[in-house]
Structure 1
Amino acid sequence: MKAWSYKQHINPKIINDFPFNSNCRYCGNKMEIQEIKSYWDITAAEFIKTFEELKFYMRKETGVGDETLNLRPDTLDDESTSLLHCNICSWWRIQKHLSMWAPSQLWDSYFGVSGVLKNLDFTDQSIPIKEIRNYLAARYNHRFHIHPKVFEEVVSSVFKSLGYNNYITAYSNDGGIDVVLERPDKELIGIQIKRYKKSIKVEQIRSFLGALMINNMTKGLFVCTSDFQSGCFPISKSFPIMLINAQSFYEALKEAQQKDNDNAFEFNKSSIPRLYYFDSLHRNSL
């Protein structure tokens, strides 16, 4: 799979997914849907076998009879196979839609697989930034577990995706500037990044302003993983400093992800040997 954070797959039922859900189960984004060639055959016998549990429930709870529940194997129809892909966090689902008639009712069944968000070892600083970005897009509340230096690289990567030239300063001797952005007109913008749970204090903004002046930079961005105390905003308005809190950076991350992940999903059919049954429903009675 070329979905960096979702290299394993499971039955969609395990994560409470369902066929008509077109929003990502992790980040909530509307997923791209495309019809693909089906590499997985589902026989009439398999369709009927998976239907038995629902059939038992329907008879017990609703009292419906054989005219609604006895499927006709000769009417099996392979309707479509679709790939659903989130271009923000790269989660995916493949689903196969089949239908079969009972004497007076048409039933739909869905088979498929879903990607699994794997756990990252945040002590491992060698994990590709692309993989960390996908993980953060899906689990942004885990941002506090990432090493501060790695989070600086994530911020730098996001702004690069948004069209800036940039470089990261030395971690132990950055002079208060963690990342430097270069605009197309060659103007330099200094960024300070704080991976904090507590709100940023006024004194930290003043210190950042001093770092900008020392480095002869006329504009700055202060990026944090929490929020800013109210006193920070008057200073930022008086000087060319943009304050980017946790929510604002998440929006920037999603925008960068859409630029980088658009039409980037590929899958290897051999890595998915089977599809799992995960739902059935009937169409309106005829």
Structure 2
Amino acid sequence: MVLSVNQLIIIFILALILVCLLLLGSKKSRYLPKNIRHQRRITKGEAVLERINKIIAEHHESLPAVLGYLRKIDPLVFEELLLSSFQRQGYKIKRNQRYTGDGGIDGHVWLHGQMYLVQAKRYKDSIKAEHLKEFAQVIAKHQARGGFFIHTGTTLAKAKSVLQQHPEIKLLSGQRLVDFLRCL
């Protein structure tokens, strides 16, 4: 079977359209290069930050509404949201090149020239004391000044006890998290 030039052109155009749809139009971003997927998460983090400030403006009691919203977003977008919030507040940040295998570090932030690590947990339930102990070890291993453990869950007495033993860990949760995310 011999195809005409016009038929070959049509097949080529259809193949090109299919490739474009796979790369750009698909909701599944796994076909996109990592740097584009990373940038999309940063952009989504910025959009979430705007949505949170809208929730704060609309609700007198914004804490339950904001935490409920945060618990529904993608965990990787949550990480980007936090780093973007640090950046908006004028702090230097460093994003990870990848999200998996990060060694318990979701980002870096510099306060007054000192490096702090960021650990983000988008939880509905309570954080575990073990998570805080592991984070303290990561902080020591990387010789950071301290770290921000940021979560959307609750902090039970056992976890609070670990925090007292590790003053280098700054906890951001509940109303402090909402206040941190509020754009000035």
- TM-score, with length taken from structure 2: 0.66
Identity %: 25
Q: Which residue of 2 aligns with 1:232?
A: 159
Q: Summarize deviations over 1:243-285 as a string: whole Å, max 9, x none.
A: 111321111111xx12xxxxxxxxxxxxxxxxxxxxxxxxxxx
Q: Match of 1:210, SS? A: helix
Q: Match of 1:145, SS? A: coil
**Residues matched between the structures, number:** 134
Structure holding more strand per residue = 1
Letter in 2 for 1:133: L
Query: For residues 136-285 of structure 1, what are the structure 2 equivalents within 5 Å?
Result: 136-137=52-53, 138=55, 140=66, 141-169=68-96, 170-184=98-112, 186-239=113-166, 240-254=168-182, 257-258=183-184
Q: Match of 2:157, SS? A: coil
CA offset at residue 177 of structure 1?
A: 1.0
Q: Match of 1:249, SS? A: helix
Q: Give distance in 1, aligned partners of 2:145 and 2:158.
A: 21
Unaligned 5+ segments in structure 1 are 1-122, 259-286
Q: Give distance in 1, aligned partners of 2:76 and 2:44.
A: 13
Letter in 2 for 1:205: L
Q: Summarize deviations over 1:70-117 as a string: whole Å, max 9, x none.
A: xxxxxxxxxxxxxxxxxxxxxxxxxxxxxxxxxxxxxxxxxxxxxxxx
Q: Give distance in 1, aligned partners of 2:44 and 2:124.
A: 24
Letter in 1 for 2:131: Q
Q: Match of 2:109, SS? A: strand
Q: Give distance in 2, aligned partners of 1:180 and 1:207.
A: 17
Q: Give distance in 2, aligned partners of 1:167 and 1:154.
A: 13
The structure with the largest alpha-carbon Rg is 1
1:133 aligned to 36, 46, 49, which one?
A: 49
Q: Give distance in 2, aligned partners of 1:134 and 1:238.
A: 36
Structure holding more helix per residue = 2
Q: Match of 1:190, SS? A: strand
| 4+ residue segments displaced more than 4 Å | none
Q: Match of 2:139, SS? A: helix
Query: For residues 84-123 of structure 1, what are the structure 2 equivalents within 5 Å?
Result: none
Unaligned 5+ segments in structure 2 are 1-27, 30-36, 56-64
